[in-house]
Structure 1
Amino acid sequence: MDKLVAPKDWSPEIAIPLVHSKLGINEILAQGDNSINNSVSEEPDGLILLVYRDTLFSVKAPNYVSFPVGIGILNDYTISDTLTLPIDSIGLNLEIYNNLINGNFVFEDPKLDVIITNSIGIPLGINLMVLEAWSPINGTTLIELDNLTAPTIPLNPSPGYPLVPGNSEVTIYSYDKTNSNLNSILANAPKYIRYSAQGITNVPPTTPNFITDSSRFNVEIKLELPLYGSISFLTLGDTMPFQLDISDPSGEDIIVSEAVFVINTYNDFPVDVSLQLLFIDSNQIIIDSLYYTGAEKILSSGLIGPPPELRTYKRSHRVTEIKVTESRLEKIAQSTHVILKGQLTSTNGGVPLVKVYSDYELEVKLAVRAKMKLGSG
């Protein structure tokens, strides 16, 4: 068989994969300020859940009750004592929350629990003396529970109290959009929730009862924010090493006659996607971008299933091609990293409502398809 010889003007076409990235909600979670009080978790079905909590503790009984020497318990205690807890605050500082409120996420189903743990064996009345949210934009707004605002929010019915020394009783008061103004509070993008409480013993007077030298009560505030609501936009991002090297093993010059960037995108999220890639050099300077007109809407949302799950059941896929000049390709070849930004934007101003699950991903594959010639041309 005769040897095949390429003509002098032969121009082969090659495809070089450049970037493969999967952006999910975990990219935001990894940046979160998770602590014992603030955390990001997921419900059993995978729906992302933000949890904020903080606890105030009363002083122990010997700070306001005189116990006889060697006696650690008093029975049938008839005095009514007022215990005021100091003001404390919950910082809404999870990175994902900051990203969401900057993107105008409206939480559809927020929940606030007031949890009383009481080891005082006497009826105890609890009033919330301070309960407010603070936003750098809107200032202080009173949180309303059962149409009441502090300093006159009594917790009804009164919390339980133990019948046996050494035990504790836990009482939970739950609030949502039906019996509070949490939705409008969160629409103001608060950064802190401030709260305080006051406990009054022997309300109403009841015997028999007891109080021990270790008796106390505490008030815990727990805020849960499921990622269920409407969203104007949410930004996901990633930075990756980048190398564009078109060369021939012989060392002979290669001339690129044509080049096309090919972008494959796959979207699980229930919102549309606008995409931008920024090419940066070793000095962290942006030297080019994929789209000159800013982030480009390239992908519709995944297909959304019926309520109540509202889970996407089919990811959307699109291939986009962008022609690139030889000079631009040479400039991009100087890049050492690429910044990928995906902006998730719902249509119709946040309608319909969406749910964000932990397994959702935005997958991006970038390749260059080029026609080349060897030699100086």
Structure 2
Amino acid sequence: MISKSRFLIPLILCGLLAITTQSCFDSDDYDMDRLSDKVEWTPNMIAPVGYGTYTLWYLLNEHELNPNDQTIFLEGNNLVIRHRENDIFTYAVDDVLDFPNQVSQNLGITIGTFAGIPHASIPTNPIPFSETFSVDAGDPDIILSNLQLNATIDLSLTNPLDTEIDLTVTFPGITEGGSVVTRTFRVGANAINHPESISLSNAIVNFKTPYTTSNEVNIDFSVYIRDNGTTISGSGDVGVNLTVQNIDFITASGDFGKQTINIGTGSIDLGVDFWDDVDGEYRFADPKIHVHLRNSVGVPFAINANITGYSSSGSTQNLNPDVLQPTNYPKTITDVLDTPNEETITYDKNNSDIVDLMALPPSDRLDYFGNVDLNPNTVDIATQPNIISNTSRIDADIEIEIPLEFTATNLTLKDTIDGVDIDDADKVMNAAVVITAQNGYPLDVTVENIQLTDASYNVIDEIKDNEVIDAASVYTSGANIGVVDPNSIKEVSHEIKLTQTQIANLNKTENIIINAVVSTQNGGIPVKLKGDYELKFTISVQAQLDLSN
């Protein structure tokens, strides 16, 4: 803000210095009497240096040639610093649920001992056997209730008998196309590690109840001993080695546990350059940090994050926000598979120390860090399970919004004009700058001093001016509190006179440092800066020149 309006002060000084090189002015162009009635000596050179009407919006944005560099925006008639960075945090489904390679499970189906039994005496009914197998979800705290997946179940079968058997494998909790998955395999006599496989495509897996972290699936076997026409011999169990491979889940439901996901660290540069040029105390009334979420993960979570601001002086301040829990997360499979839900959570003065953070000011950078905590509350799988798909993800953007509504005390602005080259200051006998202004801004402005320095920035001389360009008053109550009262705007006029020593020191001046102070009044009521606030001014430079040389 200030960096765009401070060009008025150099304009005054440049006008003063310009008179040393001008040979003449047409007195018919100016009302010399009116311009000279402010000084005690009689000038022989009077030049209006500048005049105009400047809206606050113009001063703040006139020099932003690239719209991408703009950080101050006019929204309605309100001025707002706004900065956004996209995709500061992303987490995908494999941060929540990632199935590792599954461990093989060995099962034995007891069929009894056959010691030369005539084929006519073998059991006529299949021998049943039931078991469960567990699915490893990659985290010991994850409880699965339902999966939709593609997968392969590899079987290695061993037959202890000297006759063929038919082994039927049924998964009562797994359906494919609406039908229970069942397969029958013929295993040769005395076969060892006979390979078979079951391919599942878009299958629905319902886990055994009550749901536990074992994530068990029921499996039923039946063994039919085939007649070989002779005696049947053999002893031991029918061996089944079962391995689930290549789990490619489509959707998953259950309780995914209290996982903690690190959001990483990053830095934000607000790009508000004027913070580098100010000292003093100011507090924005209502700054906000918005986190914009796009969410297709059907898991409640809490954001336990923080932001640290670093000023150019080395000071720091934390945001110290409350833990915030978004509510608009997907709650059905249809919602999870649809367009991501959008939600914005906001850190403001009610749930964080953002006012202190922005008063630092964070002119160097803002660093963010923290965690996302899944399932901060107990999950009821029966009524509201966690739900994700293989495309689920959360993306977060951050937007910093600072309405230009603030209080300021002794806000010191400093600017330097480098490379000043003045060769003819000895022609100036007396000089003064007269400023007449109508200040429609709610800001008192005082140019405390103008320092003349050498090339090494050692101060040679100092031009002091403690006159205040009075601020317009603001309403202190009602709907327009903090807004300028137009009836309070008044015209003020004052002059800055140079001493003989100061004029002489212009020849030695290489740089000029300008120090100004800005304050707000109104009993601490934050002032609201509006785009149509106006500053009207005229500036004239008046001098006595030695025209004899």
What amino acid sits opposite 2:250 in the alignment?
L
* TM-score normalised to structure 1 length: 0.68
Q: Give the Cα separation in 1 of the matches to 2:300 and 2:427.
A: 83
Residues 100, 126 of structure 1: alpha-carbon distance in 2 compared, 3 angstrom cutoff = farther
Q: Give the Cα separation in 2 of the matches to 1:42 and 1:101.
A: 23
Residues 24, 335 of structure 1: alpha-carbon distance in 2 compared, 3 angstrom cutoff = farther
Give runs of aligned pairs for residues 148-167 of structure 1, distance below 5 A.
153=323, 155=325, 157=327, 159-161=329-331, 163=335, 165-167=337-339
* TM-score normalised to structure 2 length: 0.50
Maintained 8 Å contact 1:73/1:210: no
**What is the SS of the residue equivalent to 2:399?**
strand
State yes or no: 1:174 paired with 2:346: yes
State yes or no: 1:86 paired with 2:263: yes
Residues 331, 17 of structure 1: alpha-carbon distance in 2 compared, 3 angstrom cutoff = farther
Maintained 8 Å contact 1:278/1:290: yes
Q: Give the Cα separation in 1 of the matches to 2:420 and 2:48.
A: 11
State yes or no: 1:68 paired with 2:150: yes
Q: Which structure shows the higher helix fraction?
A: 2
Instruction: Tell me the C-alpha RMSD between the 2 structures.
Output: 4.7
State yes or no: 1:51 paired with 2:83: yes
Structure 1 residue aligned with 2:395, among 187, 201, 218?
218
Q: Give the Cα separation in 1 of the matches to 2:424 and 2:316.
A: 56
Q: Give the Cα separation in 2 of the matches to 1:372 and 1:132.
A: 59
Structure 2 residue aligned with 1:129, among 277, 297, 304?
304
Structure 2: unaligned runs, 5 residues or longer: 1-41, 100-148, 152-200, 203-247
Instruction: State the shift of 1:159 in Å.
Output: 2.8
Maintained 8 Å contact 1:20/1:364: yes
Give runs of aligned pairs for residues 120-269 of structure 1, distance below 5 A.
120=297, 122=298, 124-134=299-309, 141=318, 143-145=320-322, 153=323, 155=325, 157=327, 159-161=329-331, 163=335, 165-187=337-359, 189=361, 192-198=366-372, 200=374, 203-205=379-381, 211-234=388-411, 235=413, 237=415, 239=417, 258-269=430-441
**What is the SS of the residue equivalent to 1:98?**
helix
State yes or no: 1:15 paired with 2:46: yes
Instruction: State the shift of 1:216 in Å.
Output: 0.9
What amino acid sits opposite 1:14 in the alignment?
M
Instruction: State the shift of 1:304 in Å.
Output: 2.9
**What is the SS of the residue equivalent to 1:144?**
coil
Instruction: State the shift of 1:278 in Å.
Output: 4.2
Match in the other structure for 1:353: 526
**What is the SS of the residue equivalent to 1:304?**
coil
Match in the other structure for 1:274: 446
Match in the other structure for 2:484: 311
Q: Give the Cα separation in 2 of the matches to 1:372 and 1:103.
A: 40
Residues 258, 183 of structure 1: alpha-carbon distance in 2 compared, 3 angstrom cutoff = closer
Residues 195, 279 of structure 1: alpha-carbon distance in 2 compared, 3 angstrom cutoff = same
Structure 2 residue aligned with 1:115, among 292, 295, 308?
292
Instruction: State the shift of 1:227 in Å.
Output: 1.8
Instruction: State the shift of 1:169 in Å.
Output: 0.4
Match in the other structure for 1:250: none
**What is the SS of the residue equivalent to 1:296?**
coil
Residues 261, 287 of structure 1: alpha-carbon distance in 2 compared, 3 angstrom cutoff = farther
Deviation string for 1:275-320 (max 9, x for gaps)? 14445678877654432xxx52331112435624613636544322
Residues 366, 158 of structure 1: alpha-carbon distance in 2 compared, 3 angstrom cutoff = closer
What amino acid sits opposite 2:304 in the alignment?
M
Residues 209, 310 of structure 1: alpha-carbon distance in 2 compared, 3 angstrom cutoff = same
Deviation string for 1:235-261 (max 9, x for gaps)? 2757499787989xxxxxx97654433
**How many positions carry a matched residue from both structures?**
346
Q: Give the Cα separation in 1 of the matches to 2:397 and 2:43.
A: 69
Residues 323, 128 of structure 1: alpha-carbon distance in 2 compared, 3 angstrom cutoff = closer
**What is the SS of the residue equivalent to 2:350?**
coil
Match in the other structure for 1:370: 543
Residues 333, 38 of structure 1: alpha-carbon distance in 2 compared, 3 angstrom cutoff = closer
State yes or no: 1:320 paired with 2:352: no
Structure 1: unaligned runs, 5 residues or longer: 1-10, 146-152, 248-253
What amino acid sits opposite 2:282 in the alignment?
F
Match in the other structure for 2:518: 344
Q: Give the Cα separation in 2 of the matches to 1:173 and 1:180.
A: 13
Q: Give the Cα separation in 2 of the matches to 1:180 and 1:62.
A: 28
Q: Give the Cα separation in 1 of the matches to 2:441 and 2:434.
A: 22
State yes or no: 1:298 paired with 2:452: no
Q: Higher RCO, 1 or 2 (CA under 8 Å, sep at least 6)? A: 1
